[in-house]
């Protein structure tokens, strides 16, 4: 589904990603964890080209994506993204947020997009909120709308960039519930998060990044109970 080979990324002199190899299989849920500054968000953002790699290869659905020759908007249609700060469009209602890309990018007839949009809002538990503006929603509700908005493009993979980090603690659960049900439906997901409970329960594989490299990866049970890398041990002792 996604394959990354020897990915390097620099911000000026700062070497953020130092040769990352990663493969994500269809229907797999990969959770990336690591200390802040370890490069996990940057890696995620490279996957839909919001950050441009400096070296290495990125393959989506078996095809290498070269930003110079591939229209990135076409690639991004298949790669949904959920942001830490939701980034809902404040001048559109919840439903308009959800149908915006299907109508204007995929050119789906508006009526059809609305019907599908309402189903998606129903699915994230916000069937009654279609006509309100995002500012009227709680953080948890906003993030669920953002998930519905990304799903509306029927992506083959969903990227989550710390989706619960900006939420009040009592609102984290409702977002994680939606993500769990997505995983249960077989969605391919790459999730950057600090929610270790979610990683343990939902992930097929945990990837631990340290200093721009994958220091350790494995199934969550083994990783959490018996981490091998000293940095992983240190990290887990601090967050668990």
Residue ranges that bind other proteins, judged by CB under 8 A? 48, 50, 72-74, 76-77, 79-81, 83, 85, 87-91, 100-101, 104-106, 133, 146, 149-150, 153
CB of 81 to other proteins, least distance (A): 4
CB of 143 to other proteins, least distance (A): 12
Distance CA 133, CA 91 (A): 7
The SS3 of residue 73 is helix
Closer to other proteins by CB, 153 or 232: give it.
153
- Inter-residue contact 15 to 54 (CB < 8 Å): no
Closer to other proteins by CB, 72 or 236: give it.
72
CB proximity list for 135: less than 8 A, separation 6 or greater:
90
Closer to other proteins by CB, 48 or 164: give it.
48
* Residue given tokens 């947020």 in the structure block: 97
CB of 2 to other proteins, least distance (A): 15
Distance CA 74, CA 184 (A): 27
Largest Cα–Cα separation, the chain: 55
CB of 75 to other proteins, least distance (A): 8
Closer to other proteins by CB, 4 or 206: give it.
4
- Inter-residue contact 102 to 117 (CB < 8 Å): yes
């Amino acid at each position: 589904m996604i394959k990354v080979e020897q990915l390097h990324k620099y911000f000026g002199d700062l070497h953020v990603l130092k040769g990352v190899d990663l493969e994500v299989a269809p229907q797999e849920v990969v959770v990336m964890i690591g200390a802040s500054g370890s490069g996990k968000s940057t890696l995620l953002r490279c996957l839909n080209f919001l950050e441009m790699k400096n070296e290495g290869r990125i393959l989506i659905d078996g095809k290498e994506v070269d930003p110079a020759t591939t229209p990135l908007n076409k690639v991004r249609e298949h790669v949904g993204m959920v942001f830490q700060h939701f980034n809902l469009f404040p001048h559109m209602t919840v439903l308009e947020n959800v149908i915006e890309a299907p109508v204007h990018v995929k050119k789906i007839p508006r009526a059809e997009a609305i019907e599908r949009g309402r189903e998606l809002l129903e699915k994230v538990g916000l069937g009654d909120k279609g006509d309100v503006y995002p500012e009227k929603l709680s953080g948890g509700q906003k993030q669920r709308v953002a998930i519905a908005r990304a799903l509306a493009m029927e992506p083959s993979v969903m990227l989550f960039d710390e989706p619960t980090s900006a939420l009040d603690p009592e609102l984290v659960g409702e977002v994680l519930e939606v993500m769990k049900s997505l995983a249960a439906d077989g969605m391919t997901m790459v999730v950057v998060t600090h929610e270790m409970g979610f990683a343990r329960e939902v992930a097929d594989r945990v990837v631990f990044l340290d200093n721009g490299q994958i220091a350790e990866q494995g199934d969550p049970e083994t990783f959490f109970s018996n981490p091998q890398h000293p940095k992983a041990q240190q990290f887990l002792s601090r967050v668990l």
